[in-house]
Amino acid sequence: MRIVIIGGGLAGLASAVALTERGHPCVVLESRSRLGGRASSFLDPASGTYIDNCQHVSLGCCTNFRHFCQTTGLTEFFRTEKTLYFVGPDGRIDPFAASALPAPLHLAGAFARLRYLSWRDKLALGIGLRALARGVKPEERHLPFSEWLVRHGQTPAAIARFWHVVLVSALSETLDRIDVEHARKVFVDTFLAHRDGWLVDIPTVPLEDLYGGRLTEWLTARGSEIRLQATVEELEMYGDQMASARLGNGEQVVGDQFILALPFFRVHSVLPAVLANRPEMAAVERLEAAPISSVHLWFDRPITELPHAVFVDRLCQWMFNRTVLSNTAPSEQGYYYQIVISASRELAGQGRETILAQVLAELSAVWPVVGTARLLRSRQVTEHRAVFSPVPGVDELRPLQQSSVSNLQFAGDWTQTDWPATMEGAVRSGYLAAANLLRHKNPGVSIVQPDLPVARLSRWLMGIRKPIERRPDLQE
Ligand SMILES: Cc1cc2nc3c(=O)[nH]c(=O)nc-3n(C[C@H](O)[C@H](O)[C@H](O)COP(=O)(O)OP(=O)(O)OC[C@H]3O[C@@H](n4cnc5c(N)ncnc54)[C@H](O)[C@@H]3O)c2cc1C
């Protein structure tokens, strides 16, 4: 069986790993000169080193991404943060860590100690979290999450300093553009269902080392072929079956099975009209995108020893201390920090100097040394179509992995996975596509990993039955 995978992002790579591991090597066709797609690095000409397009992190609840890393030997390149450092509006830093109590009480003390929320805010928060955990009422299902919060009595400070802070990082969107079920999933899976769901895994090396280096070796050593700079122009059918992928140079790559793992905004360009015009594919064209920006800074001295920080009520949302996270001496470029700004639409039209000045002013307010340190270099990167926006009703636009053509699967964070646009969502989609493909021969095959189990006390106190009730057609 010759399997052709189009797209070397995490969805395509996860399919390739799952199939290769089960004795079915694949051909991966990737248009760019490196793997990883939206989770990748670029060669920085000034330093000759790889820099990530943006810091990518994963959470403890990302069971499929974790499985993918374990299978391919990537786990050693991550470190797990067991304390988060929240920087309040007044610049004070509140460490946030779990106690020994079982979920969902493990983080109660940490919430209680956050100094930038009043007791009234915290009470509202507790009530809101419980209501969300218990499930979304049918009449609230298509509300923007901002409206749900107001209906459930959330204070302006709780909204700005808690709900927004968590969701803009997790979903890269503003509260008025978030589906209530998507918001619910974030809080249930991350904070309420299991005591490890919220732990943050951060790569210690550039993404290129993960997906370009180790993963390429893993796949090729097991017989799969990676073809870079192989842009697919069109998928070609023979009768009612997919037959080949035609490349830009005219070459036809024939196959028995195909997995199309492109970003949602590229899929239509390669589909034959008969498929592109189907209602489920027309819906994909209605998906909207959200941008994420990163500001890379190199200073002549350390500005903080913290590995990361989460900012509240600021333009900057996260700081990643790359020098500390990579556990290396500062490079010739200096001490390297990365600032992440998700849902960064408001930056459009602002000059780079304006953005840089605001970022530096915010950092100086927390770490005064920034005012005296010399900024050796800076760089700004914006991915305009970083993720699909989880707007109300978004899941109705996402197709299943099995297309209407029996030997064509879709994979990608935008397909039906029950997850938002994340590395976990991409890997899940790849596993689901691989399982569909193998199921023709082996109906019992199972690839998708189970979610973290819901703690008994979380069921009892919060009424959580399962992390999220999965759609029956997504069950393996
Ligand atoms: C700035 C930024 C920050 C993010 N931060 C996080 C984070 O912290 N945590 C997290 O979990 N997720 C994060 N994400 C989201 C995550 O990166 C994506 O959800 C995930 O990588 C998507 O993988 P994918 O395989 O579905 O799509 P993609 O990564 O887009 O892969 C599709 C691949 O197809 C290739 N391709 C396109 N056209 C063709 C063609 N014609 N022929 C052949 N190949 C083609 C592309 O080059 C690409 O490699 C972030 C995304 C961005 C952009």
CATH number of the domain enclosing 228: 3.50.50.60
Helix and strand numbers, DSSP H then E, in the chain: 18, 20
Please, is 145 exposed, middle or buried when counting C-beta atoms within 10 Å of its C-beta (0-12, 13-18, 19+)? buried
Same domain, 192 and 138: yes
What is the rounded CA–CA span in Å between residue 380 and residue 88?
25
Same domain, 192 and 213: no
Residue 233 lies in a domain: yes
Same domain, 316 and 293: yes
Please say whether the beta carbons of 335 and 323 come within 8 A.
yes
For residue 330, the model assigns a pLDDT of 79
What is the rounded CA–CA span in Å between residue 28 and residue 40?
16
**For tokens 């040394």, what's the residue?**
369
For residue 444, the model assigns a pLDDT of 87
Closest to 438 (Cα-Cα) out of 63, 20, 27: 20
CA atoms 184, 188, 189, 190: torsion sign: positive
Residue 320 lies in a domain: yes
Please say whether the beta carbons of 78 and 69 come within 8 A.
yes
Same domain, 106 and 187: yes
For residue 469, the model assigns a pLDDT of 47
Centre of ligand 1 from the C-alpha of residue 36, in Å? 7
What is the rounded CA–CA span in Å between residue 60 and residue 200?
6
Residue 85 lies in a domain: no
Same domain, 264 and 406: yes
Domain span including residue 103: 98-197
For residue 463, the model assigns a pLDDT of 87
CA-nearest residue for atom 49, ligand 1, is: 37
* Ligand 1, residues at Cβ distance < 6 Å: 6-12, 29-32, 37-39, 53-54, 56-58, 231-232, 261-263, 266, 270, 292, 383, 386-387, 412-413, 421-426
ω into residue 95 within 30 of 0, thus cis?
A: no
Please say whether the beta carbons of 246 and 232 come within 8 A.
yes
Same domain, 325 and 184: no
Structural domain total, the chain? 3
CATH number where 346 lies: 3.90.660.10
CA-nearest residue for atom 35, ligand 1, is: 7
Residue 69 lies in a domain: no
Domain termination site, one of 169, 197, 225: 197
Supply the pTM of this predicted model.
0.96
Relative to the CA of 14, which ligand 1 atom is closest? 25
Residue 411 lies in a domain: yes
What is the rounded CA–CA span in Å between residue 381 and residue 314?
19
Buried b (16+ CB within 10 A) or exposed e, 9-27: bbbbbbbbbbbbbeebbbb
Relative to the CA of 412, which ligand 1 atom is closest? 26
278: left (phi over 0), alpha (psi -120 to 50) or beta: beta
- Tell which one of 38, 262, 409 to mutate to probe ligand 1, the residue whose CB is within 8 A of the most ligand atoms: 38
Centre of ligand 1 from the C-alpha of residue 4, in Å? 19
* Distances from the Cα of 121 to the Cα of 92, 112, 118, 132, 172, angstroms: 18, 10, 5, 16, 23
Same domain, 190 and 102: yes
CA-nearest residue for atom 34, ligand 1, is: 7
Same domain, 275 and 411: yes
Same domain, 297 and 316: yes
Residues whose CB is less than 8 angstroms from the CB of residue 156 and which lie 6 or more positions away in sequence, other chains included:
none
For residue 466, the model assigns a pLDDT of 62
Residue 212 lies in a domain: yes
CA-nearest residue for atom 5, ligand 1, is: 56
What is the rounded CA–CA span in Å between residue 222 and residue 219?
5
For residue 212, the model assigns a pLDDT of 87
Domain termination site, one of 163, 197, 231: 197
Residue 426 lies in a domain: yes
Residue 79 lies in a domain: no
Domain termination site, one of 177, 197, 217: 197
Same domain, 189 and 109: yes
Same domain, 274 and 306: no
Phi, psi of 76 (to 5 degrees): -65, -15
For residue 48, the model assigns a pLDDT of 86
Please say whether the beta carbons of 8 and 17 come within 8 A.
no
Centre of ligand 1 from the C-alpha of residue 457, in Å? 37
Same domain, 159 and 20: no
Relative to the CA of 8, which ligand 1 atom is closest? 49
Average pLDDT per consecutive 10 residues, the chain (476 residues; last block may be shorter): 98 98 97 96 89 96 98 97 98 98 96 97 96 93 94 98 97 97 96 97 96 93 98 97 97 98 97 92 96 97 97 97 90 91 94 97 98 96 97 96 96 97 98 95 90 95 68 46
